[in-house]
Amino acid sequence: MSNQTGITLALSKGRIFEETLPLLAAAGIVPTDDPEKSRKLIIGTNRPDVRIVIVRATDAPTYVQYGAADMGIAGKDVLIEHGGAGLYQPLDLKIACCRMSVAVQAGFDYAAAVKRGARLRIATKYIQTAREHFAAKGVHVDLIKLYGSMELAPLVGLADAIVDLVSTGGTLKANNLVEVEDIMPISSRLIVNQASMKTKHAQLQPILEAFEAAVEATA
């Protein structure tokens, strides 16, 4: 692609960028701009052969899949929805940790609805995850795709339940929702383009090893 010899890393702004900085530092990589302050989408680093592209969190796997970035970082939630085609996922970085949960409005008897075999309306950004979760439980669902503010859906009668990420539970609580199922723990993973792993192995391997050592040191 456009960066034949160097390494391009796809990162999203916000928590993933912030929590990746120490890992980059462990690999001797320091970005030359702060994406929260700069409007640049391509950010240099102290290393002439390493650059960072700023992408939407959901898009990181796509950039890496097509080789527009050699590596990137994406949440397990995002990787499940993407499907993982064309990607290696060599390392759980144990950053941006939270959990995927089912939540309902306080007072809705979720267990009873499931027990009587009711068809449930589920609003979520995570269609794939939700589909697999309810299929495995044998619960019939109608899935409604949303792009944000999932917490609103049960409150206005759009859905019986939501599937969403929860960390502290503060947002659920503030909106009178309760968590009724913990689907899976979520953290972010390093993703690597499968072709780059071979053609740029000499450049990628030291970065991978530094990340791995840094993750182990904080565990």
Residues lying near ligand ATP in the complex (CB under 6 A):
12, 14-16, 56-58, 75, 77-78, 96-98, 148, 165, 167, 186, 188
| Measured CA distances, 108 to 57, 63, 84, 141 (Å) | 32, 41, 35, 16
Report which residue's Cβ sits closest to ligand ATP. Answer: 75
| Least distance to ligand ATP, CB of residue 79, Å | 9
| Least distance to ligand ATP, CB of residue 16, Å | 5
| Least distance to ligand ATP, CB of residue 168, Å | 7
Output the furthest CA–CA distance in the chain (Å, rounded): 62
Q: How far apart are CA 31 and CA 45, in angstroms?
A: 4
Nearer to ligand ATP, 161 or 172 (CB): 172
DSSP state of 3: -
| Least distance to ligand ATP, CB of residue 201, Å | 27
Residue the block writes with tokens 């090893």: 209
| Least distance to ligand ATP, CB of residue 116, Å | 33
CB count within 10 Å of CB 31 equals: 22
Nearer to ligand ATP, 96 or 190 (CB): 96
| Least distance to ligand ATP, CB of residue 74, Å | 7
Nearer to ligand ATP, 167 or 176 (CB): 167
Residue among 6, 22, 71, 17 at smallest CA distance from 40: 17
Strands 188-193 and 87-92, by their bridges, are antiparallel
Nearer to ligand ATP, 12 or 65 (CB): 12
Nearer to ligand ATP, 38 or 167 (CB): 167
Nearer to ligand ATP, 15 or 131 (CB): 15
DSSP state of 118: P
CB count within 10 Å of CB 218 equals: 11
9's CB contacts (< 8 A; 6+ apart) are 50, 51, 52, 53, 69, 70, 71, 72, 73
